[in-house]
Structure 1
């Protein structure tokens, strides 16, 4: 009789000789010359069981934990949340849900955890999200929840982990969970993080994201490891009913004569190099090629530095700072989040307009305190560089100002999502997008929209 055992991030298939492996043709199973045993990647566990059951082969499964947590939740799921959950169940409890920020992805996941009632691992990108998930689960289920990350390593039937900690622990605990939830599942496309999913046997898998597709195509790898996208709704699908109505106002500003001169000089150096480099910058890989060339080619290094200077000039233009002042005056009674691309601009704006600042340099305790004061109304506006894009529980706001950002659709969607939660007064949300006219930032803005 065959036996299935979890071992170091793999499924060990006992009772199968080397000569039998090819003939058996079982999903993912190959012969391990070092261990002199047949093995399959852990994530093929469900496929392997299904194949053995279909063929009527006898086997002893020593992996699958027998857990019945008898969970219930108090959520009243909205129609689209119920539709998302049903679509996931219909796809054999595997797949990705793409829902906008503020649409209640966590609610759907909690309902899925309760429905399965089995041991569950939730994987999240940040310690802030880890703490947020743990509080939510302990409150909703009234049970002790384990934690991998944030200075703690405790395992329970339901455990929350950061991606980093899951990467370190998966080859040890990968056979202990029946269900795995990947929050912000697009992170799983990173080379190292893919192993988190590969080293887990959990048959049931759920991915949550506001933006599934990645520019590098890695979402196809995620689909193989977690399941395909089974349900998706856009911001426009939910605006007005379940999310706030919103408006995006694009404001073009002019560079000052001095900024224009410096910009044209830097951009010209960059463009001149492109003409002789066979690089078009139509894809992110061209930027990586330029970075690699800059290590040995002085002209490539000069072009790279020139591109960075031009980018900084157009993104941090003086007229953006002045325009922000007028926007803040116009929305003196609103809750405003200002997004920038550079930390030094955050501090410049903080000093100029007396705005609480949150950057990667802000201590976690200070950041929590600032956000709590924003939540309770002590502060009505904050300025940040990238830190609040995802992975942080950000209090409701109704105005966002995008002074600068990348061409990433994901980044834009996440920043818009910060002001889309329904307003108690039924009011609309506004996102101001400030763009330096007649610069490459116009193309950047077009790309992210």
Structure 2
């Protein structure tokens, strides 16, 4: 039987040897005169070649790890999720030569259900060098703290001004994008937290360049409106386990109520809203553009560069949206909600900074927006966690990627049609309190506007 040698080479797997009928994963590289496959196809390529050849596998260069043992005890639903992931191991039957395990796939669980714990247990189960990829510095710090507390080994980090690799390393998506081809052979497992980010045009290259045969994606909201979750399935594995918030509410997560409060625009707001809405809908009708479709909206944006009517329509749309999402009545409704929950930890979400700052000024709430500095944000969240602050208001910043203290009331003053955004916001109030109390999510919606349709879509 002929022998084929596999090596890792800058984000690809190079195959050397007498290949008579190369597998589909391999393509000719005219520059080097070799056959190569994208690194993410390593497990598939090796399994295919072993059916016909003797394989000398020199792809992975894994450092040794001490025995890993986490003190966490998995809940039943967490155990089922990780068992479904482990059951996808493509190399489970391979005994000689020994190879790292190769389960691959995505787990979708609600915010607050312990996805980090599942990730820790996955690392413990496989006992192989691991790269954990996260979207923000806050999550990087959170993962490093958890890993250092659970495992008796140094934890590396790529991000926040530090570039130090260890057998277990946590990286931001940005840093992993820059380093993946250089470290793609050093990890047997890659864990992607908030894995829906991997569908981004650049970030997906991280998974393509890593040879890690075992891959785990964690998210509360896997599917993307642009369909890019299909790319994630290709490079990471399919969705193998899903748990909806309602399945855990009242048991492992807090029971919750959804309340929609409809408010009216003032006569002045209504007149301005209808005027601007008529301007942009009239232009769309004349131009055969259906505003509901993202591609047609991009066409409107493109036309606005040299068509004065298109620009007028675009500005009218934005102004109508600002009125709809930031009406004066919403601030009045928020006052009533805060009065109804005087002693409960509350997060107020808005779609725009202006409304966040209006609420902050009116009710003396600490505000966190993209303009808030890192240290100020951490100080606000720490005071919220310890109870010095009982309420905070934010514009999108706390939807994901931030370790937010538990709250029991969330108020969506304005938001998008994104189901992901809604699920993330709901997740901020679902952690169990231990006393059996229910959490509450309020949606404040301007009646007789497009916001009612937006609210329906996100649910």
Q: Please give the range of the TM-score, normalised by the shorter of the 2 chains.
A: over 0.9
Q: 2:104 aligns with which of 79, 94, 100?
A: 94
Maintained 8 Å contact 2:11/2:180 = yes
1:171 aligned to 2:173? no
Query: Structure 1: 5+ residue runs without aligned partners?
Result: none
Change (3 A) 1:229 1:62: closer
For residues 10 and 349 of structure 1, the distance between their equivalents in structure 2, rounded to whole angstroms, comes to: 52
User: In the alignment, which residue of structure 1 is the partner of 2:392?
Assistant: 382
How many angstroms apart in 1 are the aligned matches of 2:425 and 2:229? 21
- TM-score normalized by the length of structure 2: 0.95
C-alpha separation between the residues in 1 aligned to 2:88 and 2:39? 20
Does structure 2 conserve the Cα–Cα contact (< 8 Å) formed by 1:375 and 1:396?
yes
Q: Match of 1:84?
A: 81
Q: Determine the structure 2 residue equivalent to 1:339.
A: 349
Find the aligned partners of 2:245 and 2:55 in 1 and give their Cα distance.
Answer: 49
Q: Does structure 2 conserve the Cα–Cα contact (< 8 Å) formed by 1:2 and 1:14?
A: yes
Number of the residue aligned with 1:5: 7
**Secondary structure of residue in 2 paired with 1:182:** strand
In structure 2, the residue corresponding to 1:44 is in which secondary structure?
A: helix
The CA distance in 1 between the partners of 2:285 and 2:72, in whole Å, is 58
- By how many angstroms is 1:2 displaced? 2.6
Name the residue aligned to 1:50. Answer: 47
- 2:170 corresponds to 1:160: yes
Q: Does 1:237 align with 2:244?
A: no
Measure, in 2, the Cα distance between the counterparts of 1:283 and 1:64.
Answer: 47
CA–CA separation in structure 1 for the residues paired with 2:282 and 2:440: 39
Q: Is 1:253–1:437's contact at 8 Å kept on the other side of the alignment?
A: yes
Q: CA deviation at 1:297?
A: 2.1
Superposed, 1:67-216 pairs within 5 Å as 67-92=64-89, 93-216=103-226
Query: Deviations along 1:406-441, whole A, 9 cap, x unmatched?
Result: 000000000010000001321000011000011010
Q: Is the 8 A contact 1:244 1:426 kept in 2?
A: yes
In the alignment, does 2:56 pair up with 1:59? yes
Which residue of structure 1 lines up, in the alignment, with residue 422 of structure 2? 412
Distance 1:91 1:107 in 2: 20
Contact 1:27 1:51 in 2 (8 A): no
**Any stretches of 5+ residues in structure 2 without a counterpart?**
90-102
1:339 and 1:402 in contact (8 A); partners too: yes
Aligned position for 1:24:
21
Question: Alpha carbon RMSD of aligned pairs, Å?
Answer: 1.2
User: Could you tell me how far 1:101 is from its partner in structure 2?
Assistant: 0.4
**Does residue 260 of the first structure (1) align with residue 262 of the second (2)?**
no
- Equivalent residues in 2 for 1:195-344 (5 A)? 195-344=205-354
| Match of residue 431 from structure 2 | 421
Q: Distance in 1 between matches of 2:48 and 2:65?
A: 25
Aligned to 1:128, the other structure's residue is in SS state helix
TM-score (norm 1): 0.97
Partner of 2:97: none
